[in-house]
């Protein structure tokens, strides 16, 4: 009896294996999946040219070259870094021979999902011409907190004449997070709570502003989570995931299907408090928005001091969030998150607040929103990053501003 049961179990296992093999080969022939290959950034390894860093939390790998497949443009993208770990075609010397423009920013500045000749940095160099040397210090995933540290310890050594700080909405939430993609990171705490000054009314909308003078004179930034930056190591489950992602179309199909189902029901609250810029557009003020703005603005004040101490001019450039001005994209995002449809957004709130702050200190400030909301076809399909056209438009406007800078 027992032998019969064992035979039945073996037969069942054998049948399942045969079924899975038939299904696997059927998928490969009739419905092939986008499995991992050396030019695919999705499966299973994180391909950005970065490594852990004790101060910045992560930093570019020097003299790196990698090939990645972009699902947005359906082409292979080459990421290459120079001797300083910067994504740019030229090496950078400590001895400058031209006017130097230093770019600080995140994935927009880095040029995510674009080949170098199509990036914002590359186009800016083209528009400024041979009298300028543009240095691209944009790094994937950076917030303003990491940018100021990178500027202080690395960028300032390059003696830039002009520093362009590219601001994207999620910088404010990045500044408050001790983790990014589950990787520990340093971040800044504000020693004192931000003081609100008064409500400002604009187009029938009202919002509080921070008392900028108190923020400048008395608020203190404290770097926390230091020395906790560790490199995660591969474990058996990750190795199994990597292997199946590379060779099994069944596994890839199941994983992607589950991912899509999870995204349909993801609660809005889960993204509203961390790694999000949506709360900055919410019509109602919140303690979270006030503290994130205060930390961000204090970092900008300190950036300006670093620039002034080395006779550099600093320009703050606002990169518009696609959600703000692309109605079709906005509706797609709202449908993705449960409960988000009940929120009331003041789409230009962050622009008005930033503008008020920049005017108060007479900082050089360029908001790209008017240019982007009056144009179309500037983004990668289904993504918030620029395509070639968007990067080109941003480079044009920033080059015009630099050339007219007094």
Q: Give domain status of residue 16, yes or no.
A: no
Q: Nearest CA to 76 among 19, 116, 23, 24?
A: 116
Mean pLDDT of all residues belonging to the chain: 83
pLDDT tens string 302-314: 999 999 999 999 9
Q: Nearest CA to 111 among 393, 398, 387?
A: 387
Q: Nearest CA to 310 among 162, 98, 94?
A: 162
354 and 324 Cβ atoms separated by less than 8 Å? no
Q: Nearest CA to 365 among 325, 401, 321, 324?
A: 401
User: If you average pLDDT over residues 106-131, what whole number do you get?
Assistant: 95
- Residues 356, 335: Cα–Cα separation, whole Å: 32
In which element (H, E) is residue 365 found? Answer: strand 364-367
Residue 64: pLDDT above 90? no
Indicate which CATH number applies to the domain containing 391: 3.40.50.1110
Q: Give domain status of residue 3, yes or no.
A: no
Rounded to whole angstroms, what are the CA distances from 282 to 154, 159, 265, 343? Answer: 36, 40, 21, 7
The boundaries of the domain holding residue 46 are 33-403
187 and 171 Cβ atoms separated by less than 8 Å? no
Q: Rg of the chain over CA atoms, in angstroms?
A: 24
Q: Give domain status of residue 116, yes or no.
A: yes
Q: Give domain status of residue 7, yes or no.
A: no
pLDDT tens string 25-34: 887 888 777 6
Q: Give domain status of residue 12, yes or no.
A: no
209 and 353 Cβ atoms separated by less than 8 Å? yes
Q: Give domain status of residue 10, yes or no.
A: no
Residue 262: pLDDT above 70? no
For residue 31, give every residue at least 6 positions away whose Cβ sits within 8 Å of its Cβ, in sequence order, or none: 249, 253
Q: Give domain status of residue 220, yes or no.
A: yes
DSSP 167: E
Residue 323: pLDDT above 80? yes
CB atoms within 10 A of CB 377: 8
For residue 305, give every residue at least 6 positions away whose Cβ sits within 8 Å of its Cβ, in sequence order, or none: none
Instruction: Quote the pTM value.
Output: 0.82
- Residues 30, 270: Cα–Cα separation, whole Å: 37
- Residues 147, 341: Cα–Cα separation, whole Å: 34
What does the CA dihedral 332, 114, 108, 336 come to, rounded to 10 degrees? 20
Alpha carbons within 13 angstroms on the beta-carbon side of residue 268 total: 15
Helix 2-30 and helix 249-265, axial crossing angle in degrees, nearest 10? 80
Q: How many domains does the chain have?
A: 1
CB atoms within 10 A of CB 78: 12
pLDDT tens string 333-348: 888 877 888 888 889 9
Q: Give domain status of residue 4, yes or no.
A: no
107 and 70 Cβ atoms separated by less than 8 Å? no
């Amino acid at each position: 009896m027992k032998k019969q049961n064992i035979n039945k179990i073996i037969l069942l296992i054998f049948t399942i294996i045969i079924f899975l093999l038939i299904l696997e080969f059927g998928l490969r022939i009739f419905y092939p999946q986008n499995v991992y290959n050396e030019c695919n950034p999705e499966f299973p390894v994180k391909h950005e040219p970065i490594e852990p860093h004790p101060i910045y939390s992560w930093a570019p790998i020097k003299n790196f070259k990698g090939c990645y497949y972009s699902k947005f443009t359906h082409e292979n993208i080459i990421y290459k870094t120079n001797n300083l770990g910067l994504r740019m075609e030229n090496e950078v010397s400590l001895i400058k021979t031209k006017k130097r423009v230093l770019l600080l920013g995140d994935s927009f500045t880095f040029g995510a999902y674009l080949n170098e000749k199509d990036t914002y940095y590359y186009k800016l160099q083209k528009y400024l011409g041979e009298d300028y040397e543009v240095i691209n210090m944009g790094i994937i995933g950076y917030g303003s907190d990491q940018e100021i540290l990178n500027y202080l310890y690395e960028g300032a050594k390059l003696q830039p004449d002009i520093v362009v700080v590219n601001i994207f909405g999620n910088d404010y939430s990045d500044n408050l997070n001790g983790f990014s993609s589950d990787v520990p990171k340093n971040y800044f705490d504000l020693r004192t709570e931000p003081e609100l000054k008064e409500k400002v009314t604009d187009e029938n909308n009202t919002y509080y502003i921070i008392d900028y003078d108190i923020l400048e004179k008395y608020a203190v930034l404290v770097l926390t989570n230091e020395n906790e930056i560790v490199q995660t190591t591969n474990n058996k489950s990750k190795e199994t995931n990597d292997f199946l992602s590379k060779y099994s179309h069944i596994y890839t199909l199941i994983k992607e299907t589950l991912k899509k189902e999870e995204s349909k029901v993801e609660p809005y609250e889960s993204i509203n408090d961390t790694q999000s810029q949506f709360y900055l557009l919410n019509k109602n003020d919140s303690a979270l928005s006030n503290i994130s703005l205060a930390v961000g603005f204090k970092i900008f004040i300190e950036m300006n001091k670093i620039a002034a101490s080395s006779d550099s001019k600093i320009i703050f450039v606002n990169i518009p969030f696609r959600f703000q001005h692309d109605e079709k994209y906005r509706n797609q995002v709202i449908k993705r998150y449960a409960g988000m449809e009940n929120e009331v957004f003041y789409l230009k709130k962050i622009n008005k607040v930033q503008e008020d702050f920049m005017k108060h200190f007479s900082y050089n400030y360029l908001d790209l929103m008017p240019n982007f909301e009056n144009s179309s076809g500037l983004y990668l399909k289904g993504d918030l990053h620029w395509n070639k056209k968007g990067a080109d438009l941003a480079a044009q406007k920033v080059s015009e501003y630099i050339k007219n800078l007094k």
